Amino acid sequence: MSCNGMASSFFPSGFMFQLQAPCEDDHQLVSPVRSLIPTNLHHLRGVAPATGKRSASFSGAETCEEANGDDELSDDASLAGEKKRRLNVEQVRTLEKSFELGNKLEPERKMQLAVALGLRPRQVAIWFQNRRARWKTKQLEKDYDVLRRQFDAIKAENEALQAHNKKLQTELHVQALALRGREASDLINLNKETEGSCSNRSENSSEINLDISRTSVAERSCPPLQILPYFQSVRPADPDCPKVENDAPEGSFSNLLCSIGDQSAFWPWPDHHNFH
């Protein structure tokens, strides 16, 4: 078996360079397994991480060598009585590189990594499982952040719409009051003049025609403005408006939308008119 035959399909180029190095001193190795362990990993075994605070890490092979000699790759190697140790920096770095190539571990790649790093295949599989779990957790955090930002944006938009809605309602209320006040005064004037003309018909008939002529045709042809909900009273009969049930609450959102002529400034998407 060549030093880099099967492994070339699984490891990045930089990693392959590491794998090739040990071939130069095969005669010093006690097993084929060791021939695939990067030279820089040999001397890094047990080296503490950059913090310098953590104690020396272990390698699975070392543990197994101590436990059961040449059976260092056996998955059923018992670790009973063994304490858990962290993988060293170089082992983790190599596993990370391999993980970037694919987060699912094929049996061949697992064997290659186990051989290269001096770990049991079971350890490599477990590392990938835990790594996938960590990746998923981080992905969930990212997704949560995205959703939260979207929610905040929509919430702000909703608040702006509600503020605008309130402003429009106020304007309509003022206009409705003004209209009613004007119509009421017109009615009073009309009644006064009508009564006066009846009592003084014989005396001042010319004023009647004058007063009536001041009343517009439109006002005379329409019934007095009823006290209506704001939006019902001003809503035009727009066939394009979505159908709203007759017993819909007064001032419902749909009615409000129909009563607003130009809302383009309040919709973030350009084709809001298709949003029904």
Partner DNA sequence: GATGTCAAGGGGAGTG
Partner DNA sequence: CACTCCCCTTGACATC
Q: Which is nearer to DNA, 99 or 231 (CB)?
A: 99
Q: Tally Cβ neighbours within 10 Å of residue 99.
A: 19
Least distance from DNA to the Cβ atom of residue 123, Å: 4
Distance in angstroms (rounded) separating the CA atoms of residues 58 and 112: 19
Determine, following the binding rule CB under 7 A, whether residue 107 of this chain makes contact with DNA.
yes
Determine, following the binding rule CB under 7 A, whether residue 123 of this chain makes contact with DNA.
yes
Distance in angstroms (rounded) separating the CA atoms of residues 137 and 135: 5
Q: Which is nearer to DNA, 1 or 50 (CB)?
A: 50
Q: Which is nearer to DNA, 24 or 145 (CB)?
A: 145
Chosen residue from 42, 93, 132, 235 binding DNA by CB under 7 A: 132
Chosen residue from 101, 126, 187, 212 binding DNA by CB under 7 A: 126
For residues 156-215, which are near DNA according to CB under 7 A? none
Chosen residue from 43, 134, 166, 173 binding DNA by CB under 7 A: 134
Least distance from DNA to the Cβ atom of residue 241, Å: 47
Total site size for DNA, rule CB under 7 A: 29
Least distance from DNA to the Cβ atom of residue 61, Å: 11
Distance in angstroms (rounded) separating the CA atoms of residues 150 and 148: 5
Determine, following the binding rule CB under 7 A, whether residue 44 of this chain makes contact with DNA.
no
- Binding track over 52-91 against DNA, x by CB under 7 A: -xxx----x------------------x---xxxxx----
Least distance from DNA to the Cβ atom of residue 49, Å: 7
Q: Which is nearer to DNA, 64 or 172 (CB)?
A: 64
Three-state SS annotation for the chain: CCCCCHHHHCCCHHHHHHHHHHHHHHHHCCCHHHHHCCHHHHHHCCCCCCCCCCCCCCCHHHHHHHHHCCCCCCCCCCCCCCCCCCCCHHHHHHHHHHHHHCCCCCHHHHHHHHHHHCCCHHHHHHHHHHHHHHHHHHHHHHHHHHHHHHHHHHHHHHHHHHHHHHHHHHHHHHHHHHHHHHHHHHHHHHHHHHHHHHHCCCCCHHHHHHHHHHCCHHHHHCCCCCCCCHHHHHCCCCCCCCCCCCCCCCCCHHHHHHHCCCCHHHCCCCCHHHCC
Stretch that binds DNA, among 124-132, 201-209, 211-219, 234-242 (CB under 7 A): 124-132
Distance in angstroms (rounded) separating the CA atoms of residues 231 and 228: 8
Chosen residue from 33, 92, 168, 190 binding DNA by CB under 7 A: 92
Q: Tally Cβ neighbours within 10 Å of residue 31.
A: 13
Chosen residue from 2, 129, 199, 204 binding DNA by CB under 7 A: 129
Q: Which is nearer to DNA, 53 or 220 (CB)?
A: 53
Q: Which is nearer to DNA, 54 or 214 (CB)?
A: 54
Residues that bind DNA (CB under 7 A): 49, 51, 53-55, 60, 79, 83-87, 92, 104-105, 107, 110, 122-123, 125-130, 132-134, 136
